[in-house]
């Protein structure tokens, strides 16, 4: 079984035991140590996912970045909460790529934006990589923020969504 090969479960108490401290200042070195342990465990999961799905390992990592986009845009977060999410994303962006077992940091992506389909003055961030949701059978087309969509395909999707959900163009 996949979980049987793992040492012990990764928890904060394991971090604290391994770091052997009761009270210590959280320095950059301590933060890197904690991040290294956390992402090392994630590497094992992602290598397994990559092997089972035949997705490239780096694409599996790139899907993590989408979690930050979802947290910022899908949940009704206050400005303060959005700032905290963005702070976390920027902290991850500064980590060395070796922590991820990769040649590049999967969170260090140049963000691109497109107009939303329901409110054209609002910008939506494109995903760093395709999430492959269209292959699950739950949807038959790419997501609106998929980087695989061309500008024309995205405009067609916007028009379709507007008709489907009754959104009128304000322009």
Neighbours of 3 (CB within 10 A): 8
- Rounded to the nearest integer, the mean pLDDT of the chain is 77
Express each pLDDT in 121-133 by its tens digit.
778 888 888 888 8
- Is residue 4 very low, low, confident or very high in pLDDT (cuts 50, 70, 90)? very low
Q: Which two tokens stand for residue 137?
A: 């059978």
Q: Residue 64: CB partners within 8 Å, gap ≥ 6? A: 42, 106, 107
Of 19 and 54, the structure prediction assigns the larger pLDDT to 54
What is the C-alpha to C-alpha distance for residues 34 and 28, in angstroms, rounded to an integer?
10
- Is residue 91 over pLDDT 90? no
Pick from 8-12, 32-36, 94-98, 153-157: least confident: 8-12
- Is residue 150 very low, low, confident or very high in pLDDT (cuts 50, 70, 90)? very high
Using alpha carbons, select from 76, 85, 63 the residue that is nearest to residue 133.
Answer: 63
Go through the chain and tell me how many residues it has.
171
DSSP annotation of 29 reads H
The reported pTM is 0.65
């Amino acid at each position: 079984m996949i979980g049987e090969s793992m040492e012990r479960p990764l928890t904060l108490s394991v971090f604290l035991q391994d770091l052997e401290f009761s009270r210590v200042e959280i320095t950059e070195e301590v933060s890197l140590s904690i991040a290294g342990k956390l992402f090392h465990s994630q590497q094992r999961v992602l290598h397994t996912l990559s092997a089972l799905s035949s997705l490239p390992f780096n694409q599996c990592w790139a899907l993590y970045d989408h979690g930050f986009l979802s947290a910022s845009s899908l949940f009704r977060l206050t400005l303060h909460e959005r700032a905290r999410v963005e702070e976390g994303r920027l902290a991850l962006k500064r980590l060395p790529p070796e922590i991820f077992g990769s040649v590049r940091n999967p969170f260090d992506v140049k963000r691109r934006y497109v107009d939303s389909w329901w409110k054209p003055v609002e910008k939506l961030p494109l995903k760093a990589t395709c999430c492959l949701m269209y292959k699950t059978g739950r949807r038959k087309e790419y997501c609106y923020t998929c980087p695989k969509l061309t500008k024309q395909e995205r405009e067609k999707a916007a028009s379709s969504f507007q008709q489907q959900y009754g959104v009128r163009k304000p322009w």
